[in-house]
Amino acid sequence: MFGYNALDVGIIIVVIFGALYGSYRGFVVSLLSFAGKILSAILAINFLEKFISVFKIKELFMKGVVDIVKDYLPMSDEIKNMKFSEEGVNIAGSSFENNAFAKIMGENISREIKHLAEAGEQFSFETVGDMMGLIVANYIINIVSFIILFLLFLLGFSLLKAVLVKIIGLSDIVTGVDKFLGLLFGTGVNVFLLAFVLGFSYDILNLMVLEDGGLLSKYRYLLNESTLQSYFYNVYSLIISEGTKLL
């Protein structure tokens, strides 16, 4: 259909839905909702290390995640089994070129290893695969933990927003201008969220070795063939590059 695949159609539908929903709620309510998401993200970042430490998440899941991740690293068994050395790391790094998430991950390998050592965790890197598996697993655990915290804080802010809207009566003062601004705001928020979801899944799936015919493999094919995905990936790359400067 004019060069667009099923994923492109889905993207268009989500953007249109965001615009209509933003218009329905109005700018003020949409802004409160977005502010809740931003505050949830900030709080999730600030409490992330504490959350991981208190619930001993890495102690419980790190080894299992490493074992899974190592099988999906986009490098040959020969590279994975290379003795851990600077040369081996450089060769492995070439497997992650042109990937925004992996590029940042690679740039922070030394920092991550130092951080793990300072945290008192004992890891021995016998092979390049061991080291890369640990680094990737560490990022995955951090990201999943962040998402859990974000959703918990977001639930709290959503309940608070609902109470405020009911008390102040914002739902009764949605004007034409407020609806139009809400439409623009809803569109922008959905584009932002879509960019992150599509970009992150593109990077992660293109790092993995997947069997043909599987659900993830089909989704990766749609991502790679999508006409709109490249535009969203540019936004995602900007989010990643600028976001890491704040961390």
CB 235 within 8 A of CB 243: no
Tokens 């209509």, located at residue:
20
- Residues 165-210 pLDDT 10s: 777 665 555 577 888 899 999 999 999 889 989 988 888 787 776 7
- Binned at pLDDT 50, 70 and 90, residue 135 comes out as confident
Nearest one of 147, 116, 145 to 52, comparing CA atoms: 145
Contacts of 21 (CB under 8 A, 6+ apart): 186
CA 227 to chain centre: 21
Tokens 């979801």, located at residue:
197
What is the pLDDT at residue 107?
A: 54
Query: Distance (Å, rounded) from C-alpha 200 to C-alpha 205?
Result: 8
CB 50 within 8 A of CB 147: no
Question: Which amino acid is present at 220?
Answer: R
- Residues 22-74 pLDDT 10s: 988 888 888 888 899 889 989 999 999 999 999 889 888 988 888 888 777 76
Token pair recorded at residue 149: 């915290």
Residue 230 has pLDDT above 70, yes or no: yes
What is the pLDDT at residue 203?
A: 82
Give the residue ranges of DSSP H helices in the chain: 6-25, 27-54, 57-72, 77-80, 86-93, 100-107, 109-118, 128-168, 176-205, 215-225, 229-246
Q: Max alpha carbon distance in the chain (Å)?
A: 67
Three-state DSSP class for residue 83: strand
What is the pLDDT at residue 10?
A: 94
What is the pLDDT at residue 1?
A: 46
Angle ∠(5,180,25) on CA atoms, nearest 5: 85
- Residues 85-109 pLDDT 10s: 666 666 666 665 556 655 555 555 5
- Binned at pLDDT 50, 70 and 90, residue 228 comes out as very high
Three-state DSSP class for residue 127: strand
What is the pLDDT at residue 215?
A: 86
What is the pLDDT at residue 130?
A: 78
Q: Find the mean pLDDT for residues 115-122.
A: 51
CA dihedral angle for residue 215, residue 217, residue 218, residue 222, rounded to 10 degrees: 130
Query: Distance (Å, rounded) from C-alpha 235 to C-alpha 12?
Result: 16
What is the pLDDT at residue 7?
A: 93
CB 7 within 8 A of CB 226: yes
CA 58 to chain centre: 19
